[in-house]
Chains A and B, each alone.
Chain A
Amino acid sequence: MKRNRREFLKLAGITAASASVIGVTSGLTIAEASGSGAAKPDTTILAKNKKALTAKRWGMVIDTRKLQTASDIEPLIAACHKIHNVPEMTNKNHEIKWVWEEEFKHVFAEQEHELVNERLRHLPFLVLCNHCKNPPCVKACPTQATFQTKEGIVMMDFHRCIGCRFCMAACPYGSRSFNFKDPRPFIKETNKEFPTRMKGVVEKCNFCAERLAVGKQPACVEASEGAIVFGDLDDSQSEVRKVLNDNYTIRRKPALGTGASIYYIV
């Protein structure tokens, strides 16, 4: 069959028009079907607790003048590790820690010198995740298992962690630990209200997000009896801001630009 140009153009036009009509209608049905997906229950509400403590950016001031000895710090660590089911590994290489104790020369390595004050040299410092304003671990995480909440907490979604440990390499503070083994046998007393972790995930301090959600201060703050002040750094009326204003404070590794949210009164 021989076609002239006019016939060919007509046929092509009709084909294109009908194809687009079919495309649009089938597209609509797909959209409708996915819109009424069975997964999401209808007319339900997901919300925060009324009691929940909220802030624009959580932060902490640690008054080292009130935490003089290791025995002042131990109960704080114990309180945290107990409620979060942090295991006590027998092998030092497998150690898991959310908060721990460190020397001045390691905590403030840039400020260390041979004539540093005798008190500071031997003072135990409480260290934990700095919940950076500009967190390098969040950028490093390939699965967004580590993320920053709207309230400035650097959180871990353990469900998503694939255990690649990029975050551990990225964190300049060593705040993260990896579960080389199943941690369950090493947990002395299990807190049934908080999950444990499994082998192959990274873990760290979560600023007690689960406690803030029910209107409680973080466990270490509660156990510190006033040595740690916790609050909203973006609220000029908050207690942390008042303490920051009244005292000279330092942060860890400020030159890196991570914007740590843990301040130390030394």
Chain B
Amino acid sequence: MFNKKLVIAGLIIFVGIITFPFWFNQAKVIAPPEVKLTERAKEAKECVLPDKLKMRGEHMQLLDVWRGTVVREGNRKYVGTNGKEYEMSLSNTCLDCHSNKADFCDKCHEYASVDPYCWDCHIDNPKETK
């Protein structure tokens, strides 16, 4: 092999850089965020999808279906698997109950490193001042 020393040194540096996140964070355990519910949300007991985990994992698909059907089909009413009726609206239904964006939406989104652009247009309720 030509340039044996250079190649091996280079490989070691490369592997070191590529595995940086693993050995850098090795000691730390980042706890998943604890989401705070508002009093109203606690009282309601169940959300639009009765399964809490489903809500956590699939709310984005639900919202996607909602926005499509509200804007394009003009449907505004949603009857869930629990038989309850909801108005399909992010600002007026979801964020009316979950009115603590910073403690509810943002915490998880930050942890999962996702940056949804819902709030570029939809108004969080009550409106937050940045």
Q: 19 A-B Cβ contacts within 8 A?
A: A43-B81, A44-B79, A44-B81, A46-B69, A46-B88, A48-B76, A49-B76, A49-B77, A151-B74, A157-B71, A158-B121, A190-B127, A192-B91, A192-B123, A194-B91, A195-B122, A197-B121, A198-B120, A209-B74
- In this complex, how many residues of chain A approach chain B with their Cβ under 8 Å: the count is 32
The residue on B at minimum CB distance from A40 is: B65
The residue on A at minimum CB distance from B58 is: A38
Interface residues of A (CB under 8 A from B): 38-49, 52, 147, 149-151, 155, 157-159, 190, 192-198, 209, 213-214
The reply to whether A213 and B123 form a contact with Cβ atoms under 8 Å apart is: no
The reply to whether B91 and A193 form a contact with Cβ atoms under 8 Å apart is: yes
- Shortest beta-carbon distance, B55 to chain A, in Å? 10
Contact of B125 among A149, A159, A192, A196 (CB under 8 A): A192
Q: Which residues of B contact A193 (CB under 8 A)?
A: 91-92
Find residues 80-98 in chain B having any chain A CB closer than 8 Å to their own CB: 80-81, 88, 91-92
Asked if B78 CB lies within 8 Å of chain A CBs, one says: yes
The reply to whether B65 and A39 form a contact with Cβ atoms under 8 Å apart is: yes
The reply to whether B77 and A48 form a contact with Cβ atoms under 8 Å apart is: yes
- With contacts A52-B74, A52-B76, A147-B72 known, what are 10 further pairs, Cβ within 8 A? A39-B61, A44-B80, A45-B79, A47-B77, A49-B76, A159-B71, A192-B91, A194-B91, A196-B121, A198-B117
The reply to whether A42 and B81 form a contact with Cβ atoms under 8 Å apart is: yes
Asked if B39 CB lies within 8 Å of chain A CBs, one says: no
